[in-house]
Structure 1
Amino acid sequence: MPAIDLVNMRPSERIVQDDMTIAFIASGDLRDVIRTVNELPKDYTGELTVLLNDHNPMIVARNFALLLLLGSIENKRKAADIAVHYWYSALVPAMYNVHLQQMIQDVLSSSGASSVGANGSISCVMTPKSRIEGCLGTTTITILKQCVFSPESYQAQDVREELTRARLVNLSRDRLERQYWPLEPSHRLAFIEFRTYGLLLPFGAANSHFDYPNRLLFSPDGQWMQADKVNPLNGWHIPSLVKAGRKHGALPMDIYGCMYFYVSDQLREFASRLSSLRIRFKLFNLDACKLGNDLSSGVLSPYGLSDQIRFDRIDASNVMDPHYLGIEPVAKVWGPLLKHTNHATLVGHFINWVSRQRNANPSDADIPRLMRRLVSDNRIKMSPPSSSPRVGRELTEICAQLSCNAVHDNSKAFDDYLDSQGIDYVLSTSGLKRKRKHTIVPHRLGGSFESPSALPTFSDDKNWYLSMYIKDHLWSERYLELAPA
């Protein structure tokens, strides 16, 4: 899902001297954290406490390393470039690995202002104003050691062979070619280049010095850990990427080059804010509900999180989906941990709900009407003039599969889905209410804060193309915002 600003401070809420506490209880990567910190008012003077948790120790190890890189390297441009490649590139310059190893070694040896306890507890000063505290756990610390101090026998050629196995051999060829078909030739080439070499760089940039494995993207035994369909472009707002690329001289057809410049800009701004704002990161490697229960019972008091702590914002990511924890466990545990203010919000998103709910996707009866609308709006990509009728029909079918969800109102189906999950009982027993008017994110991708039934909007044909075909979103995803009753 695209990065969100979890605070999204409203004009009525803009009290820049107030302390704030926010929680990412199933964080995944850092994109939401970075976007949130970067969007804070520049004159914000309060202290921001960021609870950052994930149950996957590899994710926690990577996030910890990236935060240290961004907070510990004085040259912010250099810090951002090292971090962007450890985040997204399969290979890095050997000198970047030296920086990472030295930084992690300083932490593990408890030198300077850093310490690591026997149970995996951590305390690290990044800047005079920002620090990291919490408990990574012994498993995360072990994985971090194994990855950062990997055997010298694991070399760049091993990475290339593993990438070839994972991203070119062991993949769904049909799915991949369906993804490529609607793309413009330049974007098809950009996708193939990134899939083949795994480097987030402007197209044609010098890359011979990227000769050391990025072990933060591989398992300790050297296996690529992402599914072959993973597309890092999904995590960001594509028009913003294109705009940043233009500012740096990259053309829109170099979409991964645009992403490189955009994420680098975001990381530089984030690194600067670590020096100018008072921020405390609390890192943990726990199940999301166990984390909430440990907070309420006072187990996490040694890490500066008392049983009285309450949050201005809580991001539940996708764990309210029944494929994971479900709405009731998350609301029951985390609802009472919201502050009782007009703006406190628990937000989560739902991707898999469509498989459980009738009319979530367009029915066979809806398709002809939606197709007529797409054709009249010039949204269906036409096949090349020399194509056979069969090719034309198949291309239209592929584009329709991607496009119909975006022009289908699934708000009633989502309400029915929430009813099937017992939403009224969940809210009444957890002290929460549903926000019909959202304040953090629109009700659906590209939709409206005001109306749950509003369809995604696209400013022009180019915006439609970038949103629909460059990304892999289903366009049936929905957000849910809950507030204290």
Structure 2
Amino acid sequence: MASPTFFCANWSPQSIDCANQGKRVCTACRLVAYCGPKCQNAHLSTHKKDCNSPLLSEAWKPGWVRQNRKPVFSGKIFGVEKFLWGNMPAIDILRLEANEGKDYSGDLRLLFAGEYPKYPKSFRLCKPDIAIPIASGDLRNVIKTVLGLPEAYSRPLSITINDVDFDVAARNTIMMMIALTVEPVEKAIDCIIHVWYSTFVRQSDIEILQSYVRPMIEEMCEKIKSKRLGAYSKTWKLDRGTLRVGMEKSSWDRFLSLLSKPLKVSVDLARTIRKKTMLAASRVDYRERTMCALSPLRRAAFAKFQEDGLLVPFGYPRHEFKKPNPTFFQNADRWPMQDSAEPLQGWPAEEVEDTSSGLASADIYGKLFYYLRSQLKAFLGRLSGLEASFTVHQFNVTELPKYIGSEKFCRIEVSNIMDEKWVKVGGTLGPMMPLLQTPNENPHATLLGLFMMAVDDTRTAEERSQPPIGTTVELMKLYVPALAEGEITSLYDPSLIKVELSRGLVETHDEIFDHYQRKWEFRREERRSGAMMKDKNTIIDKWPYKLKLNPNNPAGRAEFARRIGAGLTGKEIYAEWKRVPPHK
């Protein structure tokens, strides 16, 4: 794909693709563009299926309405509870100019330790002496943070990315190796996008894995093949920075197997494996509930990605993508994520929507594709002017000090592991705060944590089931017209589903979070671990996804559509801590 070109959508697996630029949009859907009327007419029979989809109609109703039945929402997780894609918008965890200052000339050391791998709750509660796994998740916050650095900053930058989950650590390593070695950068960028998000990849992507990544892993495995079990690390000095990877010997062997002996899965079998999770018949009501929160054009794009799992523009040729992504298909009978996994949730909706997808202006996944291209191009370009070193670990957090040594960090990001469901505040601050720089070393050093479930975990089941009242209802009427016009006919009306999904965006939850802090004795845990919560956040707003614009104007309504479309609830809370002397 040539970077600036928005291609003609006239293609089929049996013909030669048109290589011209798309200059004539399909006005009915605005999802594809053609070079002219000849190609548009030639492609009409193929495009009709998408263009005439009922999902594009304002009158579309979910199946439970059409069939006059009660929808099936059991609340159960479906699929493997693993997070290979971020489910919160990427953030800059440094914000150097607002903290240390744009002229800061010290070294920067960052630790990304985020999404928590899903072990049974009883595992953590009954075995407090077990090493606590801390997980970084994917690379989106790393990329955003590097891009947030002032242009003038040229001091050493050290980034440590730890994830106890093998799949996440291996994928992060693969993408960093591609980012730091492959030329030209356009080749590296598209390969990273597809390894990251696409169910199937191209032969050229497989060749990059075999030519660039596999030899490095092979070299390490050869070096340690006769050594006893244990943890081993290897450092490579590469074109755009230094990369160090630390794993158990068994993980190194598994890594090499992933690359040298990938699971032999046919395209048809891979589609079937994914379909069992992403398009399960038993989950149709869940998918259509998600679509209740989307605009008609967004629904059609969502359905397309659900169907084929390729992160490319809507009209881009699919026939190049013939190889099952080896980082997804390591098991012959399961897709490695939940059916709710969604690439768009990992990036700021405003930035993605503001990205041009050419004349196909409704192609949201095309916008995401071009957005990722621009972000990765800027990321790789920025690395060329930095003295950057990256470390990818696959260790439990209690083992980290052994590999980090005396190193202290100016930022530590722990994502949502403080939620009640996972290790809570005490289980996080205890092992993490000693790794944070002291105020004497850096008065802006910060540990950043996210609470995704605190509001709902504090409310009783009865409180959570109560319908919105008072101010909440009046505000929701401005965003969901059917509520104001009395058009809602049942408890499962799509507009009411939309209200339930979005009411948290207009509600106030400060008192609930205060109660949550008392319930879990934040102050006691802070004293024990030598932490103090900041009165005012300096990295990201405490409630960053609350609606801020006037609902009576188009910008306010667009803000609402972005929030609900991204799956944000308004209940997401960011808290920041600095280090102080501990006391009992």
Do these two structures clear the TM 0.5 threshold for a shared fold by scoring above it? yes
Paired with 2:422 and 2:577, the residues of 1 have a C-alpha distance of 19
| Contact 2:172/2:392, CA 8 A, preserved across alignment | no
| Contact 1:18/1:45, CA 8 A, preserved across alignment | no
The partner residue of 2:187 within 42, 56, 78 is: 78
| Contact 2:273/2:332, CA 8 A, preserved across alignment | no
1:379 equivalent to 2:466? Answer no
| Contact 1:16/1:41, CA 8 A, preserved across alignment | no
Return the index of the structure with the highest Cα Rg: 2
The equivalent of 1:433 in structure 2 is 532
Q: Structure 1 residue 10: deviation in Å? A: 3.0
| Contact 1:359/1:413, CA 8 A, preserved across alignment | no
Paired with 1:237 and 1:421, the residues of 2 have a C-alpha distance of 31
| Contact 1:121/1:133, CA 8 A, preserved across alignment | yes
The partner residue of 1:338 within 436, 440, 459 is: 436
SS in 2 for 1:314: strand
Paired with 2:494 and 2:363, the residues of 1 have a C-alpha distance of 24
Q: Please, what is the CA RMSD of the aligned residues?
A: 2.6
The partner residue of 1:218 within 320, 326, 329 is: 329
Paired with 1:116 and 1:96, the residues of 2 have a C-alpha distance of 28
The correspondence of residues 278-427 of structure 1 with structure 2, limited to 5 A, is: 278-288=387-397, 290-291=398-399, 294-295=400-401, 299-300=402-403, 305-307=404-406, 309-340=407-438, 341-358=442-459, 364=466, 366-375=468-477, 378-382=478-482, 390=489, 394-427=493-526
What TM-score do you get using the length of structure 2 for normalisation?
Answer: 0.73
The equivalent of 1:268 in structure 2 is 377
SS in 1 for 2:154: coil
| Contact 2:292/2:498, CA 8 A, preserved across alignment | no
What TM-score do you get using the length of structure 1 for normalisation?
Answer: 0.88
SS in 1 for 2:153: coil
| Contact 2:111/2:160, CA 8 A, preserved across alignment | yes
The correspondence of residues 447-458 of structure 1 with structure 2, limited to 5 A, is: 447=546, 456-457=548-549
1:21 equivalent to 2:130? Answer no
Q: Structure 1 residue 235: deviation in Å? A: 0.7
The partner residue of 2:296 within 173, 185, 188 is: 185
The equivalent of 2:285 in structure 1 is 174
The range that moved more, 420-429 or 116-125, is: 116-125
The equivalent of 1:98 in structure 2 is 207
Q: Structure 1 residue 364: deviation in Å? A: 3.0
Using a 3 Å threshold, how does the CA distance of structure 1 residues 2 and 250 change in structure 2: closer, same or farther?
A: farther
Q: Structure 1 residue 138: deviation in Å? A: 2.6
Paired with 1:272 and 1:115, the residues of 2 have a C-alpha distance of 33
| Contact 1:250/1:257, CA 8 A, preserved across alignment | no
1:200 equivalent to 2:200? Answer no
Q: Structure 1 residue 280: deviation in Å? A: 1.0
SS in 1 for 2:532: strand
Q: Structure 1 residue 230: deviation in Å? A: 1.2
| Contact 1:143/1:220, CA 8 A, preserved across alignment | no
The partner residue of 2:252 within 129, 141, 153 is: 141
The partner residue of 1:121 within 205, 224, 233 is: 233
- How many pairs does the alignment contain? 457
| Contact 1:123/1:134, CA 8 A, preserved across alignment | yes
SS in 1 for 2:489: helix
What is the letter of the counterpart of residue 136 of structure 2?
S
Using a 3 Å threshold, how does the CA distance of structure 1 residues 78 and 428 change in structure 2: closer, same or farther?
A: same
The range that moved more, 157-166 or 41-50, is: 157-166
Unmatched tracts of structure 2, length 5 or more: 1-87, 114-134
Using a 3 Å threshold, how does the CA distance of structure 1 residues 410 and 392 change in structure 2: closer, same or farther?
A: closer
Paired with 1:234 and 1:20, the residues of 2 have a C-alpha distance of 28
The correspondence of residues 58-73 of structure 1 with structure 2, limited to 5 A, is: 58-73=167-182
Q: Structure 1 residue 311: deviation in Å? A: 0.9
Paired with 1:392 and 1:306, the residues of 2 have a C-alpha distance of 57
The partner residue of 1:162 within 273, 280, 294 is: 273
Q: Structure 1 residue 306: deviation in Å? A: 2.6
SS in 1 for 2:449: strand
Q: Structure 1 residue 170: deviation in Å? A: 5.8
Paired with 2:349 and 2:90, the residues of 1 have a C-alpha distance of 11
Q: Structure 1 residue 419: deviation in Å? A: 1.3
The range that moved more, 427-436 or 232-241, is: 427-436
The equivalent of 1:237 in structure 2 is 348
SS in 2 for 1:216: coil
Paired with 2:353 and 2:92, the residues of 1 have a C-alpha distance of 19
Q: Structure 1 residue 381: deviation in Å? A: 4.8
SS in 2 for 1:317: coil
SS in 2 for 1:4: coil
Q: Structure 1 residue 105: deviation in Å? A: 2.3
SS in 2 for 1:437: coil
Paired with 1:337 and 1:347, the residues of 2 have a C-alpha distance of 13
SS in 1 for 2:189: helix
Cα displacement string for residues 82-108 of structure 1 (whole angstroms, at most 9, x for unaligned residues): 000100000011121011122222202
Paired with 1:331 and 1:392, the residues of 2 have a C-alpha distance of 43
SS in 2 for 1:178: helix
Using a 3 Å threshold, how does the CA distance of structure 1 residues 250 and 418 change in structure 2: closer, same or farther?
A: farther
Using a 3 Å threshold, how does the CA distance of structure 1 residues 125 and 357 change in structure 2: closer, same or farther?
A: same
The equivalent of 1:450 in structure 2 is none
What is the letter of the counterpart of residue 111 of structure 2?
A
Cα displacement string for residues 399-457 of structure 1 (whole angstroms, at most 9, x for unaligned residues): 1102210111111111110111111111112221111211111112325xxxxxxx654
Paired with 2:544 and 2:224, the residues of 1 have a C-alpha distance of 41
Paired with 2:262 and 2:394, the residues of 1 have a C-alpha distance of 26
Q: Structure 1 residue 252: deviation in Å? A: 4.4
The equivalent of 1:7 in structure 2 is 94
Q: Structure 1 residue 358: deviation in Å? A: 2.8
Unmatched tracts of structure 1, length 5 or more: 448-454
SS in 1 for 2:482: coil
1:130 equivalent to 2:130? Answer no
The equivalent of 1:475 in structure 2 is 570
Using a 3 Å threshold, how does the CA distance of structure 1 residues 104 and 222 change in structure 2: closer, same or farther?
A: farther
Using a 3 Å threshold, how does the CA distance of structure 1 residues 250 and 162 change in structure 2: closer, same or farther?
A: farther
What is the letter of the counterpart of residue 358 of structure 1?
R
SS in 2 for 1:180: helix
What is the letter of the counterpart of residue 108 of structure 1?
I
The partner residue of 1:465 within 561, 575, 582 is: 561
| Contact 2:93/2:413, CA 8 A, preserved across alignment | yes
Q: Structure 1 residue 24: deviation in Å? A: 0.7
The equivalent of 1:452 in structure 2 is none
Paired with 1:286 and 1:457, the residues of 2 have a C-alpha distance of 43
| Contact 1:331/1:427, CA 8 A, preserved across alignment | yes
Using a 3 Å threshold, how does the CA distance of structure 1 residues 389 and 357 change in structure 2: closer, same or farther?
A: closer
| Contact 2:94/2:411, CA 8 A, preserved across alignment | yes
| Contact 1:50/1:282, CA 8 A, preserved across alignment | yes
The range that moved more, 217-226 or 36-45, is: 217-226
